[in-house]
Homo-oligomer: A and B are copies of this chain.
Amino acid sequence: MDLVADALAGQRRALARLLSVVENDGPEAREALARLYPHTGRAHVIGITGAPGSGKSTLAGQLASEFRRRDLTVGIVAVDPTSPFSGGALLGDRIRMRGISADPGVYVRSMASRGSLGGLARSTWEVVQVLDACGYRCILVETVGAGQTEIDIARTADTTIVILVPGMGDDVQMLKAGILEIADILVVNKADHEGADHVLASLAATLNLSGDPTGVERPHWRPPILKAVATTGEGVAEVADMAVQHLEFLRSSGAMAARERARLAERLEGIVRERLLRCTLARAGPVVYEGLLARLAARDVDPYRAADELLVAAGLRPEDGMTRAEGGR
């Protein structure tokens, strides 16, 4: 049985198992990802982020239905542990999601396990790669909109939708938390609720205040502000239209290539970093390693000198070009 071939051929059970393999990391995961890689790069990855209760999952579900009507296959990756897609919801939500999950053109994956620092961002990236390779054309990545890791995950998306809602009180806080910077499309959800106009106005003012939000990654794209009522589907088609428009913009402006380059560089460097570390630890051996940790705990050596000593013990001679290298985390 060949999981990769079967998943590429569209077998859902093979895909499910392949995703578990990839999430668990290890040599099998790497081999699989290497084989899948030539098939990637075709999906439109859309990040959906917002505070708990802002309606991320509901909007994701509606967007999935909308893209299905447009004959696109849809993958949904729920990074938010409180998402109904992750099973972390009230019964009503889960029933609402069931319709989507039953559609063979939709594949839902929840990133239930929590990794170490950066582990979640890595595995989310890889799950998206697998779905991309297996032919899902729209991949919706749902993350809770707070915290650096979520921002890093959002960066793996082509298009990032940030959801705000009236009356949450934390809208200003989200903006301050740097969420606005990553938004390609702003959606004021629950637009039928009181206070929606206030959110719209303050968003528009904030965008104007920040001047031309043109950046290296976002030349000439001014994030539009859309209204939606995700529970009824109102405004969802417009959000989908705008996402498609943003993708076209990314492609025509060259921003797509720049974003992909940054993602690939991060991925490549991450692999090299980890490989070299493990090799160094293996070469230096546990006795040296434990000895250094004991001396660190005793404050006999500082972390930078300890790193030098570890490299020397691994036969990597920091003086031989290594001294030019810089420390840091």
Residues of B within 8 A of A34 (CB): 302-305
A33 interface contact, C-beta 8 A: yes
A52 interface contact, C-beta 8 A: yes
Assembled-state Cα–Cα distance A81/B326 (Å): 28
Q: Are B299 and A37 in contact (CB under 8 A)?
A: yes
A268 interface contact, C-beta 8 A: yes
A95 interface contact, C-beta 8 A: no
Q: Are A280 and B274 in contact (CB under 8 A)?
A: no
A121 interface contact, C-beta 8 A: yes
A169 interface contact, C-beta 8 A: yes
A150 interface contact, C-beta 8 A: yes
| Whole-angstrom distance between the Cβ of A221 and the nearest chain B Cβ | 21
Q: Are B327 and A264 in contact (CB under 8 A)?
A: no
A70 interface contact, C-beta 8 A: no
Residues of B within 8 A of A41 (CB): 297, 299
A128 interface contact, C-beta 8 A: no
A261 interface contact, C-beta 8 A: yes
Residues of B within 8 A of A30 (CB): 304, 327
Q: Select which of B148, B170, B266 is within 8 A of A114 by beta carbon.
A: B148
Q: Select which of B40, B270, B280 is within 8 A of A328 by beta carbon.
A: B270
Residues of B within 8 A of A173 (CB): 52, 81-82, 88
From residue 243 to 274 of chain A, which have CB atoms closer than 8 A to chain B? 257, 260-261, 264-274
Q: Are B81 and A177 in contact (CB under 8 A)?
A: yes
Q: Are B150 and A268 in contact (CB under 8 A)?
A: no
Q: Which residues of A contact B (CB under 8 A)?
A: 25-27, 30, 33-35, 37-38, 40-41, 52-53, 81-82, 88, 114-122, 144, 146-152, 169-170, 173, 176-178, 257, 260-261, 264-283, 292-293, 296-297, 299, 302-307, 310-311, 316, 318, 321-322, 324-329
Identify 5 residue pairs between A and B in the complex whose beta-carbon atoms are under 8 Å apart, listed by A's number. A82-B170, A261-B293, A271-B304, A273-B277, A282-B324
Closest 4 CB pairs of A and B: A147-B147, A122-B329, A279-B325, A270-B329
